[in-house]
Structures are given as C-alpha cells and as structure tokens.
Structure 1
Amino acid sequence: MLNAGDPQIASLLINPGDGTTAATLTVYAPDGTSTTAAVTVSETDDDGVRMASAAVTYPVAGLYVLAWVVTGIGAGVEHQQVPVAPAVTTVPQGRVYATTTDLANKLRKAPPLNAPILLERASRLVDKELLCAIYDVDDDGLPTDPVHIEAMRDATVEQVAAWSPIGEDGTGVTDHYTNVKLGSASMSRGGGSSGGSQKGSAAEELAPQARMILQQAGLTGHGPWTPY
C-alpha cells in the first residue's frame, strides 16, 4: 500500500509495440486536479512488448487515476486506479490522552498497527465521560494537573485494552454479532445497542477499569453547572 508522499514508478505494458509506439501519462489527484508525468518507453523486447514507465508522487491520501494514452503500434487508452493511504505516523492525531508507548506498556506487548486511531477513539470516549467534569486545562483544553493527566492517560489505555480481546476498534462493529459459525450458518447478536439491549455497545460505553480510574482521580460525579 502506498502512503501519502511516497514515490512510485508507474508502468504500463504495451503489447504489441515497436519504434512508433509512444505514451503519455496524466495523473488525476483525489481533488480532480491533474498533472502530466514524463514517460519513458523501453525498447521492444523479443516478444514484441514495450514498457512505458513514469515517476509519480502522491502528495495526499485518496484515490488517484493514472490515464495512459498510447499512440503508434499498440495505441489505446488505459486507466489505472491507485489507492493511497495517509502518511504513516505513530502519533495519534487530535485530542489524545495517551501514546502508543503508553498502550504498549499497558498491554505488555507491541501495540496493534491501528493503535493511533484506537487511542483517538478511546480518548473521545473519555471526553464523553467527563462532559460535566471540572478541572484545569491549558490553551488546547488538555489537563494540567499531573493527577488528571495520569488518570486520563491510564483510562484511555484501559479502554483500548478492554477492546483488544473482543476485536473492537471503537466503531461498534463487534456488537452486531458475537457468535458466527460457517458450518450450518448460525449467528447470534451481541449485547450492545445494535442487538436491542438497553446496555450501550462496547464502542459507546467506558470500560469499568477506565471509569474507576477517572472516579479515583475525582473527575466523575460532577453535575452540570454555570458560572453565574
């Protein structure tokens, strides 16, 4: 899988091809803009095939389209779709209370490859629990008291740790079915909101250990208030 910023040598086999064969390449970005890449066409091989190639860079994530136009022998038009993932990062984005290192130390093993997004979603769930909480923050809205910083970090990693055994990724997908058998096709729904239970899904409810950590830090049990 290509990531944003990665270079690639795009290529196209032209069969048949000979000395009259030429090719151009237009690269359409996800926003619809286009650029033209410099194309090199190889010599014809023993099978009468030529290879067109061009250096292409994908600056942002999304779906790109490579539009090749071949003239001469082997003339034709071909479109190639190229999916590009966001740039690789181990740092969660946005308002996040824990790092992948924190998670690895909690799990006592290497974190999953999707650890950054799991930490983002778990932090969002912690924020949901603290809607009425009163605590000191900096200009970015992050806690400044060391006790609160530690509690929100630990609650976040506890939430991801609770998701790990059931394969939850914070989207609630595991609450749809908890038992699926391929032989004789037996399926049963989980106890989350998608199964009709009054209890919220694993993606919507804070794990008991995470909630306990916030409670012990004095961050829960606050009612709505106004400064007037």
Structure 2
Amino acid sequence: MARVYATSSQYTEYTGEAAPTDIDVRLRRASKFLDAQVFRLCRYDVDDDGLPTNSLVAAAFAEATCAQVEWGVEVGDVTGAAGVGWGSVEIGTAKLSRSVTATSGDEAPGRQIAPAVWDAVRSSDLTPDILWVGAVTTC
C-alpha cells in the first residue's frame, strides 16, 4: 500500500482553503511522486509502514505533500498531462512547436517539484541527525 504523508485537514490548514473533493486522490498521487523524486533520496528513520518516526520529519513531509498538491492546482496541471499531446500552438504571433512523439509529459508543470517542497525538507529544524536530504544508503 502506498504511503500518504498528509491528510485533507492538513491540506486545508496549509492552504487556508477548502480541500477539493478529490483531495485524498491528490494527496496519494503527490505522496507517490515525492517518494519517487525526493524522499527516496533522503535518510530518515521509519516505522514498519515506511513512514517517518520523527514528528518534525513527518510534519515536513506533510507540508511538502500539501505544497505539491497546491502547486498542481496553481499551475493548472494536477496529473502532469499538460505537457503531453501538442505538436504546435499559436497564440497571436507567438508560435511554438515540438515533436508529439518525443513528449513524455515529464516536462509538464504537474511533474515538477514545487519550490515549497524544498523549503519544507530543508527547514533549519531538520538537522542531519533526523533528516539527511540527498543521502542514499543501503544496509
């Protein structure tokens, strides 16, 4: 089962706005995305479910997850699909084009790490003894 690092109430508290009706899906997707892109590259203590045991780390991961969901809402791309499927676009005199077959969606705004995610995991409260960002080890 996938780890989910934030709740709908944490999202509401973080944004100061009512959570979207599909907030649980968005939080699950953001948690999975951040696991793959950020958290797996960090060293921190976990419980049997793989969740952080330190309350400061857990709070930072919740904040990062909420920030990632908010980012998707703000950029208008909650799934990462906005970067897929267009070969050329014209708006007035501006013309953009690219290969449709070479586009994976990884460049889409919804597939970018929100800047506020880095703010959350690089907080000065998160000392290297409880969270080490960029540490990959094996036992």
Q: TM-score, normalised by structure 2?
A: 0.73
Matches within 5 A, 1:133-148: 133-148=42-57
Distance, in Å, in 2 between the alignment partners of 1:189 and 1:102 is: 40
Does residue 32 of structure 2 align to residue 119 of structure 1? Answer: no
Distance, in Å, in 2 between the alignment partners of 1:118 and 1:187 is: 33
The letter for the 1-side match of 2:31 is S
Match of 2:14 among 79, 87, 106: 106
> Deviation per CA, 1:62-116, whole angstroms, max 9, x where unpaired?
xxxxxxxxxxxxxxxxxxxxxxxxxxxxxxx841011111111222111111211
Contact 2:5 2:62 (C-alpha < 8 Å) held by counterparts: yes
Contact 2:7 2:27 (C-alpha < 8 Å) held by counterparts: yes
The letter for the 2-side match of 1:103 is Y
Partner of residue 137, structure 2: 225
Q: Match of 1:119, SS?
A: helix
Contact 1:130 1:219 (C-alpha < 8 Å) held by counterparts: no
Partner of residue 202, structure 1: 109
CA offset at residue 205 of structure 1?
2.6
Q: TM-score, normalised by structure 1?
A: 0.47
Going from structure 1 to structure 2, the CA distance change for 1:206 and 1:115 (only over 3 Å counts) comes to same
Going from structure 1 to structure 2, the CA distance change for 1:220 and 1:208 (only over 3 Å counts) comes to same
Q: How many residues align?
A: 126
Pick the structure with more helix per residue: 2
Unaligned stretches of 5+ residues in structure 2: none
Distance, in Å, in 1 between the alignment partners of 2:82 and 2:111 is: 12
Pick the structure with more strand per residue: 1
The letter for the 2-side match of 1:117 is V
Q: Match of 1:110, SS?
A: coil
Q: Comparing both chains, which one has the higher relative contact order based on Cα–Cα distances under 8 Å and sequence gaps of 6 or more?
A: 2
Match of 2:59 among 150, 154, 160: 150
- Structure ID, larger Rg: 1
Distance, in Å, in 1 between the alignment partners of 2:9 and 2:97 is: 34
Q: Match of 1:137, SS?
A: coil
Q: Match of 2:13, SS?
A: helix
Distance, in Å, in 2 between the alignment partners of 1:121 and 1:221 is: 22
What RMSD in Å do the two structures reach over aligned CA positions?
3.2
Distance, in Å, in 1 between the alignment partners of 2:4 and 2:52 is: 11
> Deviation per CA, 1:3-55, whole angstroms, max 9, x where unpaired?
xxxxxxxxxxxxxxxxxxxxxxxxxxxxxxxxxxxxxxxxxxxxxxxxxxxxx
Does residue 128 of structure 2 align to residue 215 of structure 1? Answer: no
CA offset at residue 213 of structure 1?
1.2
Partner of residue 75, structure 2: 166
